[in-house]
Structure 1
Amino acid sequence: MDWTEKQPIPLIPQSPDPYEIAYLRGGENELARSLIFSLSQKGFLQITGEGKKSYITLTRNQPNWTTLPPIEKSILSWFQTTREIGEVFENYGLIERLKPFSLEFEQKIKQNNLLIPNDVKTKTRLISLLIFGLIALIGSYKLIASINHGRYNIIFLILFIIGSFVVFTILGKTKRLSERGKKYIAGLQSAFEKLKSNPTIAKQYYSQNMPVLNSVDPFLLTMGIFGTSALIGRGFNEYEKAFAKSQKQNSDSGNSSCGSSCGSSCSSGDSGSSCSGGSSCGGGCGGGCGGS
């Protein structure tokens, strides 16, 4: 059904943008995580913990902002007030501040057919609706027939109809990335596989053919391509703990944890991504990890 599957996979860019890749892989939430990580590495932000909560604040001695790209300057102004990690992913939090940049990334990604096309979404939903409608029609017929024949033990039929509705509601949700997008992410992860073992040394290796990478933080690029799981055990304890706490708090309160845990090698995302290693996005990340 996804016609992008037959299209050639885009070439690996000579100047990969960690932020664009993070957005493609996990949507706005993953983009926010990457930005916070990068600005923490550069000395603009610091993450502190108090009990079960973690906070992000500007560092006391701020480096020069003038050399920063617009997207980084934009979120620094949002952190003029101390923020809880959970605020980052709220509807009117940092995600909202990133909308103009997210839309720019999304437009470019859509032009390359890396997201599920709208016609595929429509067809998937229509087919799911038709199948459920057929099941509901048959179930309703049997329900009415049972009542007419004096058989009132119809709990199973009612549960079957409700269960069918739930199942087809889930199946009707389309994944965020197209088949072409999934293959592109897989291609990036394969091309930069060495980053997972030692980002610093791997950067020197890749820079021989991609000089532009000399100016890119190897850990940021690793995170952009593979997710936050690739940073585990590399000395970023405060960062890891902060987002782990946020994930647990969301889980305990019954909220979606997509905002804080879509950190693994997400290759697509319902609402954010379909994560392949430790992410709990509602469908990945993914899915709910932002995006369309």
Structure 2
Amino acid sequence: MNKEGLSNAGIQTYLLAMLALTDLCMGLSTVHTVLGILWGLSQEVSLDACIAQTYFIHGLSLTESGVLLAMAFDRFTAICNPLRYTSILTSARITKIGLGILVRSFVFIMAPIIRLKFFHYCHSHILSHSFCLHQDLLRLACSDIRFNSFYALALVICTLLFDSMLIIVSYILILHSVLAIASREERLKSLQTCVSHICAVMVFYIPIIGLTMVHRFGKHLSPMVHVLMGNIYIIFPPLMNPIIYSVKTQQIRGRIQKWFSMKKE
């Protein structure tokens, strides 16, 4: 195994660690309210705690979207530019990508989140989910929410929608590159390296799309539908990602062990 292979595995492991840490933080940010309601321990949450939870839930969602985009770029580079992989995805560049994802996720959402603290809430103080979301708090507010509504829409377009479009474009280019490979076996081998990532993308974006559709067009639906979609959005990705990537992690571990055994020989 050459040096490029170890670098490839190392970068994938780094990105997987970022994804796992994001999922873990998402679980930690919601577990106290979700379990409190499900077990009947607490039916209330303070406004400050609700706003803080909103900040972390939306920030972590943007983080996961950014990590999935970085993983798509990793797959695109590995398949379409394999000879330049180590020169394009250097350790310094990966670190900058990680920091950029965090800044984009947690700095740009501060303005609408801070404004939530100064809103006047006069409607029924009953949330649609067992955790706090920005759109839920806007629904309860009697203040002027136009800035928050427009800002949130623009942020979704510039992050989640933009990320998903870039991921789609990357896979179109990957498919074009793979179809140019003469060997059928090599084509399948290249596509297999993308299966785990494609599954993770679907596990993340499908619940978000479903939850958005329910909020926008499902006002007549049963409250249980809102609760179910919200819990799927929070629980499903952290639950499924370890299963999806368990096989891939074993492959990476096996490649690293094989490389070290060859070095010893």
Instruction: Please classify the TM superposition score into its range, dividing by the shorter chain length.
Output: under 0.3
Larger RCO: 1 or 2 (CA < 8 Å, sep 6+): 2
Q: Per residue, is there more helix in 1 or in 2?
A: 2
State TM-score, norm by structure 2.
0.28
State TM-score, norm by structure 1.
0.26
Q: Per residue, is there more strand in 1 or in 2?
A: 1
Larger Rg: 1
